[in-house]
């Protein structure tokens, strides 16, 4: 991570606002990750979650594929 990127992250985390962003962290082999950050006022800390997109959306993709399969199967049963 370059010093410019470090400064950008430092400013973002110290801004005192919550938010989300997309990142490609080196620690996760530059995989696309969803990042959520929020300040904790009482401790003056910032809480950050980093979740790889694959782990976050695989259950959703499987659900959509299952629904698509049953929809197509239902259409075939109705029209056969």
Q: Please check whether residue 28 is in contact with residue 52, taking contact to mean a CB–CB distance below 8 angstroms.
A: yes
pTM across the whole model: 0.63
C-alpha span between 48 and 27 (Å, rounded): 15
Select the more confidently predicted residue: 80 or 78. Answer: 78
Residue 1, token pair as written in the block: 């991570």
Length in residues, the chain: 80
Residue 1 has a pLDDT of: 43
Select the more confidently predicted residue: 26 or 67. Answer: 67
Segments making up each domain of the chain, as ranges: 3-78
Residue 23 has a pLDDT of: 87
- Considering only CA atoms, which of 9, 35, 31 is closest in space to residue 22? 35
Residue pLDDT, tens place only, 3-58: 436 667 777 777 788 888 888 988 888 999 999 999 998 998 889 899 999 898 88
C-alpha span between 45 and 67 (Å, rounded): 42
Mean of pLDDT values over 57-76: 93
């Amino acid at each position: 991570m370059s010093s410019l990127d470090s400064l950008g992250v430092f400013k973002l985390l110290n801004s005192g606002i919550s938010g989300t962003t997309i990142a490609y962290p080196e620690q996760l082999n530059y995989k696309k990750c969803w990042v959520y950050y929020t300040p904790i006022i009482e401790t003056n800390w910032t809480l950050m979650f980093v979740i790889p997109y694959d782990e976050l959306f695989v259950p959703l993709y499987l659900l959509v594929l299952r629904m698509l399969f049953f929809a197509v199967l239902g259409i075939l049963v109705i029209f056969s």
